[in-house]
Structure 1
Amino acid sequence: MTSQTKSDKFRSLLLLFIFFFSGFAALIYQVIWQRWLVFYTGISSVSISLIVSAFMAGLGLGYLAGGQLADRAGKNRPLLLFVLAESGIGLFALFSKSIIYDWLYLSNALQAGSDFQIYLVLFLVLLFPTFLMGLSLPLLSKAFEEKTSENQANYISLLYFTNTLGAAIGTFVTSFVLIRVMGFENAVRLGAFFNFACAITSIIIYYLETKRKAGNQTKEEPIFIPDSQAKGFSWNRNFLYWILQYTMSGFMAICFEIMWFRMIETMMKSIALTFSIILAIYLGMMAVGTYFGVRFAKNHKGNRLKLFLNAQYLLYFYTIGSIVILQWGVPAFPFLFDYFKSYETSFATNIAIATMFIIPMFLMAIPTFIMGFSFTISQLIIQDKFEEVGRKVGWLQFMNIVGSTAGAWFVTLIGFNYLGTSLTIKLISLIGLVYIYVLHRHKFNTLFMRIGMAAGLVLAVFLLPSNEKFWMKLGGMTSEKDFIIREDETALSFIKSFGGNAFVYTNGLGQSMFPFNQDNTHIVLGAIPALIHPNPEDIGIIGLGSASTLYNAGGREVTKNLDCFEVIINQPDAVYEYVERSGDSSVYYIMNDKRVNLILQDGRYFLHRNDKKYDIIEADALRPKSSYSGNLYSLEYFKLLQSKLKDGGLAITWGATERIKNSFLSVFPYTYEFGGFMLVGSNKPLELNEEEILKRLDDPFTKSHYARANIDVRALLSNTLQSKRVLQNGTTKVTKNVNLDMWPKDEFDFGRIWAGILKEEE
């Protein structure tokens, strides 16, 4: 091996290593910037789709521009442009908290309006870094010239492999380690360090390569192409077909990813780590597939187009087939079926392994492996001219992003809202018939085999049940009369009836129950603050659930307004369906109470954007491990509550952890605990005269209100008042170990999950 060959190999390996950390940093940013942007947009599936779409739009434009720049740059110059791109990303990252959180959110610099206005703001804010991220792959694809077109295609695939692998590991490490250990802001700084390290290392490679070439006395002509200057582009029919394929592939990939997320999140019961687990598997297996494609192609010299088309068919067939097998197979595993039916999250080892690893891998591993494998095979077919490498990579990746964006909006706005998960899966899976048609046109495979492939896909589509029956299985239910489902872009809402009671679920996790008199937790949360406040005219409640907290908060005639914030738009419809089936008069009463204003948006978002003040504000009990729960348990959130209270107003929260208590105590100088779980904070001491408070129950309106729901509020109120503890009386303490917007420690405290697993195993 010559010294030049060794140098080329070392250079290529070093570039692959660099691109790994570029992908790692990019996913640090995606995970954390998405969290920050939600403060501006509010938490909802639509807002998440807007953020992801804006992120992808910038990437797509970067791919397109990167391809043009790569083909028009001189030798080695794409590497220099990559240096500038990485440096720009790192610089933006260092200022991103100031831009996204401080300026966009805290200062209310740009008031959010329609969805289009929000998208435009997000696009403009994210354009600079995402555009530079998109430049990277086309630039590095053209950074150095390989000896043959096959080597060039393999080099591009290896770049894609390392970057995607870095992204997968970055997703996992960010959520499981970095956020927990150092918080959002420091994790972003670490990402910036990786970008700068990539830039510096690339500068060194550029310098050494330039010096080496300058020292060569003879100029070696490459076998691939004699000129790297950009010339005309081959807009032939074949390339247009590949443009269509990459667009359709992006559409399919994002559709399946979103639907996998909905299914797996529901089975996991919506913990904060769900997104990272799914994305890490998705990207990781795609990376493995890409690498395997490179290794496989070296030994497989057969018809690559035939291989590609068969792989695409297998992707669609396996995806819907695995979902059919899953919903058929769940009842065969009683521990899983019972868990899907259950109210609480469990971290028992068998359940954690099944829901966090086995099921996601079963559903996602093979399809995403095929996606990566197909990328390699397609590059081997497409790349045939070095002068067009950058533009081909750029155009194809750009159109892939276009397809992904269209897919995200199709599933979000049409699929979940009008078709349901089951029918959406069926329709997307039928795209697989297109590949059978192309196989037929090329006369690949035998006629009998093509007919069998089509029949198999259609049969799998037929076997997937209707949306209600599909979710019944994954919800652990067997009777349609005991199961209510509502689905839209915001979430899945279930109401399950068993044991004489009905239970409300959101994305598989129990929230509250009917009838109201069986739900002491929500009686305390709603009734106690309303009864101890001397004049609660305006009450704000974050979260509808079964409407139990809302009902119990409305027990006094002096209350004129009950604002209830609910981010899940279909939740009221599910409650109305329960009323229609059960005839529960108390639920019907509160849902039609003229004092109630249902505000279907993020409660924190509304409070931040509006000047209205309340006598009482509370968030319905939210588990600290739930996704985005940190936004309602942070020091900054409690300060927001404080600023929205009238003089003598009360802020209410569930004191689920020590950090939540510390955060609450840091804000409210007068803090009380009731029932061992409910924290009440105020800027003034409470006048808790038990005799006077109990007298309020003799008011005819109050008496009638609680009697309607058969709630013995007197006994519960008396017991709760006697359990009162004064946690702080007049001095605001600055407490350590708190939850912050920039460091939601409880939400990402993975150690506590392990503690839960060990405890349940004992």
Structure 2
Amino acid sequence: MNTERLPSLKRTIAAICMLLSGMAALVYQIVWTHQMSVAIGTAQSAVAIMLASFLGGLALGGWIAARWLNSSLDAGKRYVLLELFIALWAIALPFVFPALQTLAISLLASGSLLPPDAGLPQFGVYLIIVMVAFAPPTIAMGATLPILVRAVRGETEDVAGLYALNTFGAAAGAVLAGFLLVPYIGLTAASQLGAVANLAAAALAWRHLRANSQNAECGEGSGPRPVPRLLIAAGLAGIATFALEVFWTRLLAIPFGGTTQGFAFMLGLWLAGLALGGIFAARKTGSAAIALTAGAVLSVLGYIAILVTGAAAKTAVLALFPGAVAFGMAYPRFVDAAGGDPARSAALIYASNTAGAVVGSMLAGHYLLESFGFGGTLLVAALLLFLAAAAASPNMKAASGFAGCALASIGALLLGIPEPYSLLKNGVVDSDTSGELLSLSVGRVATVEVRDRDDGIVVRSDGLPEALVPRAGMPPSLNDQHWLTVLPALARTEARSMMVIGLGGGVSLETVPSWVRRIDVVEIEQRIIEANRNIASQREVNPLADSRITLVHNDARNSMLRTRKSYDIIVSQPSHPWTAGSASLYTQQFVALAKSRLADRGVFVQWMNASFVDPHLMRSFLATVASEFKVVRVYEPVPFNLIIIASDAPISPESGFVRVGSTSSKLFKRAGILSAQDFAWSLLLDEHSVRQLIKGVELIGDDRNSMAFETGPGRGIMTRTALDAITKRPAEVRADSAYSSLRLAQAGLLPFSRTTENSLLAAARQKGTAGDYAALAAMDENLASLIPTEPGYASANHLRAAWRLERIGSLRPDLRGDMSREALDIVDAALSVETTTDLLIQRATLAQLIGDDAMLAETALVFAHVVRQGSSSEIETRRSQALIAALQRLPSTVIQRRALSALAGTY
């Protein structure tokens, strides 16, 4: 074997080539993952297949390289051909994606069914398509390192150095793609720049490396192959390290808020750690077994540090770095231990290690995290690392010690390890961690937390709030999530079918009018579905008990691409536009897809939290919707929560309300819609205003999705002043009547202002103050004539309930219940307009008469919060004490105890 080494200049050129090659590879991985998610959806099976195919190609490339080392073609030229092939494939691939999407749709078409993310046919089709698209270039990528080692006639320290530089390049590529290339120039251009890096590497190699082994290198690579135990150890290490990469990515997505840049930073830091480990390995210190053991111990210590310190800040990401450094030392040390031809050993160890990475990524994402949680997944990875260390150990004594550590990991796994709740509970959008934790579960897409708070049951996904679910017995309140389904249904009273994208807390499904007969709900995370089932008994309305609803576990684009099913209404309610599952629901291509699934005169609805975007992004999204639909309106029933409704036909929910209001009044009141006038004060932008606002604005597209990269926790926050400036319709302008002012105040958009009482109400109040309830009863018909659009409606209802409460005690027992419920309807109607302590006390009294303990506790809890927000008085103190006495007679429950505690703080 020829061991003559190359001059330092050429070795430097080889190092630069590896740096460029690694950088291009990670740019491709990030870009191609985004492009495939657009083509086939972001369902977990699609993402997993993409990652597995990428890693599988690298592994196969290493295996093929080991058999191509003795080719008659010069190794430098072989390396040039590999880089050229990768570049040409990358240039062509973006233009092939539409054909791949068409093929997938044709093979997986579900006709009139909305398909779930399940089944071997889908898995098989996606696997074949992804392999055809990505296997050729990734195989070539996997072969570059061993071929370049041969080209420079490298020794084992050269393997470590080239590996380190290749990985440093990968880290740089991840950061560049996530922070600069994809956000600013788009997916296609980023891919082309990756190709430029490959072409540059090819040019350098052609100029400096292609003549380094002129005589076909015959006989090189004929040394012994790595012993099987080393290949097994490398495979186990690959499983463990990639399971840990998935583990850290999912865990630390929470303090990063699930942003794409956060993922790119974590991936870059992980790869930088591996690269640094490769540099240390070049010094030939330690062994693979020691490196793997150190990585396992450091990973566990980093996890324990999070448990102990409760680190919820982004600095918690540093917990992954020391372990990554140790893992980076392992690969070169494996090659060193294998002996023989460094190029052949590098190829075979690389193939085995990367094949393990395929298994590790699939195992962690599809089984370990769901079955064992974060702590359990960490211990399983540590167990595999100790087993790999035992297999890599040169003597039995050392192997026995590592095997003992593996047994200790099994013991710890059986005993259980705490979940890092201190980190998981601190969301970057909603930091309220009060109340009782009901459940915390790790799913394939997200970690789902359900918490019972004073204001309702909050459902969070990766620390981001999905919904606030009202509990049974809570007073009525204005809820924009109810408007998501009621508004389009009123705009199309002839609608019979609806699709809802995103289950969340199921709140939007609670008020779907009866004339909608079929509702398909698509939810990407199975744990969200389970969370809704678990809290069904605690809520006022259980939407999953509605026979009209069909739940589909899948990504929305995946389902919609594969079906030709059409709907009268499509409601899209993505929560946070920067997350992978939501960002693709804001592009022009998705809006066009949704429109293609609408029936004639169909209505499309999109929810948007304006506080997550800046004025430019808001205008861009409105322009995106308006590019597909002729009519676009924007409603704001509560501050910053926008409901964008679009159609090719006129939109007039107020007309629909007039037509069907009397038949569904109870449902509309539950949604906080009391009158046709509610659609006037809540209208932020009409059709004409939208068209004026979007002139000259760039659309949001799949190739450069600005919604994914220009939003995030703490970024692009819209202020009230900015929103009013671009819409030119602040709350003061919308307050064109006393009723509008009242409703805007109830929505939190204007301060409350008391209006002068009319003569009827003033006279009634005098009778009530004097205790003349017979006179009040005589005035009831006139008081009932006041409608929610008139000032004094809440006060009138309070007086109407007052005489009923006085009379209930004198009625026969069989009549008391009917009058109590009648009075409760009156009080709740008033509370839907204005929340006062007088009304809440009446409601609490009625709850006692009806015997509804949950209503009493919930009403008392709201009363306590209202009193604490205002100024306490002697009468409020007496009321609080009376409520405490009433609550103390109830069985102890979480809400009862919480209400007692809140009331105790009111005086």
- State TM-score, norm by structure 2: 0.70
* Pairwise CA distance, 1:469: 6.4
* Equivalent AA in structure 1 for residue 353 of structure 2: N
Q: Secondary structure at the match of 1:111?
A: helix
Task: Provide the rounded CA distance (Å) in 2 between the counterparts of 1:602 and 1:397.
Answer: 34
Match of 2:859 in 1: none
Give the letter aligned to residue 687 of structure 2: L
In 1, Cα distance between equivalents of 2:202 and 2:237: 32
User: Could you tell me whether the CA contact under 8 Å between 1:57 and 1:123 is conserved in 2?
Assistant: no
User: Contact (CA 8 Å) 2:86, 2:140: kept in 1 or not?
Assistant: yes
**2:334 aligned residue:** 378
Task: Give 1:544 deviation, angstroms.
Answer: 0.2
Q: Secondary structure at the match of 2:535?
A: helix
**Distance in 2 between the 1:450 and 1:21 partners?**
38
In the alignment, the residues of structure 1 paired with residue 445 and residue 62 of structure 2 have an alpha-carbon distance, to the nearest angstrom, of: 31
What whole-Å deviation, never above 9, does each CA across 1:466-487 have from its counterpart, x for those lacking one?
5596887677899995322233
2:300 corresponds in structure 1 to: 320
Matched residue, 2:170: 167
**Which runs of 5 or more residues in structure 2 are unaligned?**
109-120, 611-617, 721-907
Question: In the superposition, relative to structure 1, how do residues 174 and 697 fare at CA in structure 2: closer, same or farther (>3 Å)?
Answer: same
Q: Residue type matched to 1:686 in 2?
A: I
SS at match of 1:698: coil
Q: Residue 625 of structure 2: which of 657, 664, 680 is its match?
A: 664
Counterparts of 1:640 and 1:735 in 2: how far apart (Å)?
A: 23
Structure 2: how far apart are the matches of 1:265 and 1:94?
32
Q: Which has the larger radius of gyration?
A: 2
**Where does residue 679 of structure 1 map in the other structure?**
644
Aligned to 2:554, what secondary structure does the other structure show? coil
Q: Counterpart in 2 of 1:182? A: 185
| SS of corresponding position for 1:713 | coil
Aligned to 2:822: none
Deviations 1:390-435 (A, max 9, x none): 3322211111122112222222332133333322222222335436
Alignment of 1:279 with 2:267, yes or no, is yes
- Amino acid corresponding to residue 723 of structure 1 in structure 2: L
Match of 2:584, SS state, is: helix
What's the CA shift for 1:525? 1.7
Of residues 29-38 and 462-471 in structure 1, the stretch that sits farther from structure 2 once superposed is: 462-471
Equivalents in 2 of 1:632, 1:624: separation in Å? Answer: 8
CA gap 1:176/1:231 in 2 versus in 1, 3 angstroms? closer
AA paired with 2:16? F
Matched, 1:408 2:405: no
SS in 2 for 1:431: helix
Distance 1:68 1:453, change over 3 A: closer
Map 1:17-416 → 2, pairs under 5 A: 17-73=16-72, 77-100=74-97, 102-106=98-102, 108=104, 111-112=107-108, 113-146=121-154, 152-206=155-209, 209=212, 228-230=218-220, 232=222, 234-235=224-225, 239-294=227-282, 296-297=283-284, 304-305=286-287, 308-330=288-310, 336=312, 354-355=313-314, 358-362=315-319, 364-383=320-339, 385=340, 388-416=341-369
Q: CA deviation at 1:104?
A: 1.2
1:714/1:751 CA distance change after superposition, 3 Å: closer
After superposition, the Cα gap between the structure-2 partners of 1:463 and 1:727, relative to the gap in structure 1 and judged at 3 Å, is: farther
Cα 1:395–1:446 shift into 2, 3 Å:
closer
1:46 and 1:412 in contact (8 A); partners too: no
* 1:659 to partner: Cα distance: 1.7
Q: Partner of 1:482: helix, strand, or coil?
A: strand
Cα gap change, 1:548/1:57 in structure 2, threshold over 3 Å: closer, same or farther?
Answer: same
Residue 578 of structure 1 is matched in structure 2 by 535
How far off is 1:368 after superposition?
A: 0.6
Report what 1:560 is aligned to: 517
1:512 aligns with 2:467: yes
Q: CA deviation at 1:207?
A: 5.3
d(CA) in 2 for partners of 1:477, 1:73:
67
Counterpart residue identity of residue 559, structure 2: F
Deviations 1:53-103 (A, max 9, x none): 1111111111111121123346xx111111111111111111111112x11
The answer as to whether partners of 2:498 and 2:567 remain within 8 angstroms in 1 is yes
* Structure 1 residues 171 and 520: alpha-carbon distance in aligned structure 2, compared to 1, 3 A threshold: same
Question: Are the counterparts in 2 of residues 540 and 617 from structure 1 also a CA contact under 8 Å?
Answer: yes
SS of aligned partner of 1:114: helix
CA separation of 1:460 and 1:174: change in aligned 2, threshold 3 A? same
Say which SS state the counterpart of residue 266 (structure 1) adopts. Answer: coil
Which amino acid in structure 1 is aligned with residue 332 of structure 2? T
Say if 1:665 and 1:735, in contact at 8 Å, map to a contact too.
Answer: no
Which string of whole-angstrom CA distances, capped at 9 and with x for unpartnered residues, describes residues 649-689 of structure 1? 1111135422211211222121111117221111122245x
> Is residue 669–residue 731 contact of structure 1 (8 Å, CA) maintained in 2?
no
2: CA distance, partners of 1:437 / 1:635: 54
Conservation of the 8 A alpha-carbon contact between 2:460 and 2:467: yes
* Shift of residue 372, structure 1, vs aligned partner: 1.1
| 1:71 partner amino acid | N
Gap change, CA 1:40 and 1:142, over 3 Å in 2: same
What does the per-residue CA deviation read over 1:732-754, in whole Å, with 9 as the maximum and x for residues that have no partner?
Answer: 98854221011101211279956
Residues 382 and 406, structure 2, Cα contact 8 Å, conserved in 1: no
> Which residue identity lines up with residue 544 of structure 2 in the other structure?
M
- Deviation, structure 1 residue 285: 0.9
For residue 499 of structure 1, report the CA deviation from its aligned partner: 1.8
1:423 is aligned to 376
Q: CA RMSD in A?
A: 3.4
Change (3 A) 1:565 1:200: same
Other structure's SS at 1:534 match? coil
Partner AA of 2:69 in structure 1: A
Cα gap change, 1:376 to 1:758, in 2 (>3 Å): farther
Query: What is the alpha-carbon distance in structure 2 between the residues aligned to residue 145 and residue 366 of structure 1?
Result: 32
Cα deviation digits, residues 352-409 of structure 1 (max 9, x gap): xx32xx21112x11111001122233333323x3xx3333222111111221122222
Query: 1:748 matched to which residue of 2?
Result: 709
Question: CA offset at residue 174 of structure 1?
Answer: 0.6
Paired residue total: 685
Structure 1 residue 512 displacement after superposition: 0.8
Q: What is aligned with 2:876?
A: none
1:758–1:244 distance in 2 versus 1, CA, 3 Å? farther
**What is the alpha-carbon distance in structure 2 between the residues aligned to residue 591 and residue 692 of structure 1?**
26
**C-alpha contact (below 8 Å) 2:503/2:528 kept by paired residues:** yes
Separation in structure 2 between the aligned mates of residue 53 and residue 262 of structure 1, nearest angstrom: 17
Matches of 1:671 and 1:634, distance apart in 2: 16
Percent identity of paired positions between Structure 1 and Structure 2: 18
- Mapped to 2, the partners of 1:309 and 1:436 lie a distance apart of 4
C-alpha separation between the residues in 2 aligned to 1:185 and 1:68? 34
Tell me the distance in 1 between the aligned counterparts of 2:51 and 2:560.
25
Match for 2:545 among 592, 603, 626?
Answer: 592
